[in-house]
């Protein structure tokens, strides 16, 4: 017997997913704040480009983005091995 999902169940599942995503973003934010207090130069790595014009500042965190991408790839790869 196949059970059909009702609109209420789908909304509850979506709510749980959004709460989970919010919790992950919160944890990442706390880790970034703690990393900056510990002296890790996230956002100020060699390779991060900052252009300061007369009235404008443009920031390209290329090295930080690459580092975080590698770190997240390793974390997700390890998590995938345990599934």
The phi, psi pair for 43, rounded to 5°, reads 95, -10
Question: What is the pLDDT at residue 7?
Answer: 60
Question: What is the pLDDT at residue 39?
Answer: 83
Are 45 and 28 contained in the same domain?
no
Domain count, the chain: 2
Are 25 and 48 contained in the same domain?
no
Are 53 and 18 contained in the same domain?
no
CA distances from 32 to 10, 16, 17, 28, 75 (A): 33, 24, 23, 6, 16
* Structural domain boundaries enclosing 20: 1-40
Question: What is the pLDDT at residue 70?
Answer: 94
Are 57 and 73 contained in the same domain?
yes
Tokens describing residue 19: 């709460």
Are 45 and 74 contained in the same domain?
yes
For 64, counting Cβ atoms within 10 Å of its Cβ (0-12 exposed, 13-18 middle, 19+ buried), the class is middle
**What's the predicted TM-score (pTM) here?**
0.57
pLDDT tens string, the chain, 83 residues long: the values are 555 666 667 677 888 889 989 998 998 888 888 888 888 777 788 889 999 999 999 999 899 889 889 988 998 899 889 87
Question: What is the pLDDT at residue 5?
Answer: 60
Long-range contacts, 35-39 (Cβ 8 Å, 24+)? none
Question: What is the pLDDT at residue 8?
Answer: 66
């Amino acid at each position: 017997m196949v059970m059909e999902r009702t609109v209420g169940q789908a909304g509850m599942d979506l709510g749980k997913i959004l709460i989970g995503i919010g919790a992950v973003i919160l944890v990442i934010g706390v880790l970034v704040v703690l990393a900056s207090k510990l002296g890790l130069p996230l956002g100020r790595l060699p390779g991060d480009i900052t252009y300061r014009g007369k009235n404008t500042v443009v920031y390209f965190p290329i090295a930080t983005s690459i580092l975080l991408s590698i770190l997240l790839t390793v974390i997700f790869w390890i998590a995938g091995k345990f599934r």
